[in-house]
Chain A
């Protein structure tokens, strides 16, 4: 057995050479774990005494969240004048924050749905937490357009409901498409997450007592893991993955339509949908790492499941999507010049050297320059280095949306030019939304299995009925030390 395949922090050994000259499958779970250990490890996060940092952390995020609530109450009771928005920049922080948060959600769905369809088995250790992050990010996102309507009590006008004026929403408007896209995205993400949770809730039900048992049992719906149940369950799961895949790509596409279907220079471009989707995945993976690096440090027992290999994979995705985003920035600027439209040209000149030049260059530095470190394996495999880079990416992606929205400040007529500066209410609302996000995430890691237990078990070598294979002709496998079976790499079939 190759010692390089086990042990955390060891040299990666993504593919382990075998005596017969072939290569094993990548090691997905490190350490000498058996199936039972996975249950104990993941359920242990919930069952062990609450760590000392948890309640203080929850209190701080609850306090920050209460700032958001206060700002919303102040906004609704006073009016949108408390924000910095005015003509010509009628879209301010609210839209910036909305696009920022909704984009973050995309990584969760990419991990849970797209990587599932592509049989990327490493996703199983991180998909639960990433999907939870999606839900919380979409909740944060949904708040901003909700309160940004001004007359909050008329927010139901966005829904196609009969009303006293006998009029209907304008289904030709990108803003209404967005209402449908985001609400569908949230609903389907909840369904997908919940379906994935059912077997794990059954595991928690069988391990807990008292009211916890009743609660987990209620949501586990009496799951008993029979073959008949798994058959329909797996069909439902793969169908939801196939439905979520185009959905996640569509959400940020529709968000980009909010901008691209207008005639504003700098917005009216066809590159927006793919550029937004790439940026969303980029920013989302950054936030996944921002959450998972501390999570696995605070629960060190999870390090065998959320391995450095996972972080490295995510760093590679960030590098790739960061370059796509960089390409989009460059192509936007090139087309502005090559298209020879003076308004478009001026927009890009103004972005680079106008009053908000610093935002544009922060965007470039954080989103395009900072991920370049991930070309080097040393950086890709250093969790806290990745974490710091993801902080820069989070900042950069927020500034990307700031740059896009602030395009409004100088359009066609110089007489209607103006500037936008956020007020303290804008700033505290953004700050407060992070409180909400972390509050929900902290509750999640305390009460919900943070790793998809059943899914991780299913990718372990022990789960494979052919693992103890009889007569498969792999001497390596049949002569292995039985005590170390579970850590053995899966073999690449070459028969």
Chain B
């Protein structure tokens, strides 16, 4: 591919043969000072986040808050209906008999936490996102969800240069090199 600059370039893409090659390429791209790049793999690869220097996902914090919201909702739901809105003695127990509400508290904790895990993941990942420039690349389109390990250095990276970046990726062992159109 001649590295002529396309009108709007999203970035430079390269495919790697093995997961080990991809990880090593990611490490070197990072070492070269690039900051805006990402690896695309058909399955999660152990050690990729480490190679990229990523921090841990912040999702667990969201889920903790979501779960606690569920617990609080259950206490309020059971308490307000059983002790405030229509207090009625059942089986000689106090109106606010929290022991009997434990199963509901547990279930709503799990329910709210699970919804938070789903929607939190989608929000953090900006999904659904039906259009993304990488899909314009024909190799990516056929192999990214199959057996292709891709590395894309984005054009918004300050170090990005269409020719130099592609050459660098080729040097790292990248194949099917190309520029991705926006």
CB <8 Å contact, B59 and A222: no
User: Chain A, 225-242, contact with B by CB distance < 8 Å: what is the 0/1 string?
Assistant: 111111111111001100
CB <8 Å contact, B23 and A180: no
A39 within 8 Å of B (CB atoms): yes
Stretch with Cβ within 8 A of B (4 or more), from A8-16, A314-322, A387-395, A461-469: A461-469
CB <8 Å contact, B46 and A465: yes
CB <8 Å contact, B146 and A206: yes
Residue of B nearest to A239 (CB): B117
Stretch with Cβ within 8 A of B (4 or more), from A338-346, A437-445, A450-458: A450-458
A365 within 8 Å of B (CB atoms): no
CB <8 Å contact, B147 and A35: yes
A250 to B122, CA, bound (A): 27
Size band of the B side of the interface? 35 or more
B69 within 8 Å of A (CB atoms): no
Secondary structure type dominating chain A contacts: helix
CB <8 Å contact, B104 and A232: no
A493 to B38, CA, bound (A): 30
Contacts of A226 in B (CB 8 A): 38-40
Residue of A nearest to B88 (CB): A167
A197 to B22, CA, bound (A): 25
CB <8 Å contact, A36 and B146: yes
CB <8 Å contact, A231 and B49: yes
A-B contact pairs, 13 of them (CB 8 A): A171-B82, A184-B110, A202-B145, A203-B146, A222-B129, A223-B145, A224-B132, A230-B45, A235-B56, A236-B59, A239-B63, A463-B45, A467-B19
A191 to B117, CA, bound (A): 9
CB <8 Å contact, A468 and B20: yes
Give B50 Cβ to nearest chain A Cβ, in Å: 10
Size band of the A side of the interface? 35 or more
Which are the 6 A-B pairs with shortest beta-carbon distances? Answer: A236-B121, A235-B57, A168-B81, A221-B128, A172-B100, A177-B103
CB <8 Å contact, A233 and B125: yes
Contacts of A173 in B (CB 8 A): 90
User: Chain B, 48-81, contact with A by CB distance < 8 Å: what is the 0/1 string?
Assistant: 1100101011011001000100000000011001
Select A254's contact among B38, B103, B129, B142, beta carbons within 8 Å.
B103
Contacts of B111 in A (CB 8 A): 184, 187-188
A465-B131 in contact given A199-B145, A247-B110 (Cβ < 8 Å): no
CB <8 Å contact, B117 and A243: yes
CB <8 Å contact, A231 and B39: no
CB <8 Å contact, A233 and B44: yes
Q: A34, A223, A239, A250: which has the most chain B beta carbons within 10 Å? A: A239
B168 within 8 Å of A (CB atoms): no
CB <8 Å contact, A243 and B104: no
Select A224's contact among B45, B59, B93, B144, beta carbons within 8 Å.
B144
A246 within 8 Å of B (CB atoms): yes
Residue of B nearest to A203 (CB): B145
CB <8 Å contact, A195 and B82: no
Contacts of A205 in B (CB 8 A): 145
Give A176 Cβ to nearest chain B Cβ, in Å: 8
A105 within 8 Å of B (CB atoms): no
Please provide the chain A residues from 189 to 205 with a CB less than 8 Å away from any CB of chain B in the complex: 191-192, 194-195, 199, 202-203, 205
**9 further contact pairs, Cβ within 8 A, besides A223-B145, A232-B121:** A34-B147, A168-B86, A191-B117, A228-B54, A230-B48, A231-B49, A231-B57, A236-B59, A465-B47
CB <8 Å contact, B127 and A457: no
CB <8 Å contact, B82 and A467: no
A414 to B115, CA, bound (A): 51
A285 within 8 Å of B (CB atoms): no
B164 within 8 Å of A (CB atoms): no
A216 to B81, CA, bound (A): 43
